[in-house]
Structure 1
Amino acid sequence: MTRWEYFTAPILVHMSQQILNNFGADGWELVQVVPGPNPESLVGYFKRPVPPAGQDQR
Structure 2
Amino acid sequence: MEAVNKTKVLKAIQDKPNHVAVMPVKKSELQDWMNTRSNANNKPHEYTKILQGISVKVK
Shorter chain as denominator, the TM-score bin is under 0.3
Structure number with the higher helix fraction is 2
Please give the TM-score of this superposition, normalised by the length of structure 1.
Answer: 0.24
TM, length-normalised to structure 2: 0.24
**Highest RCO, 1 vs 2 (Cα 8 Å, sep ≥ 6):** 1
Bigger radius of gyration: 1
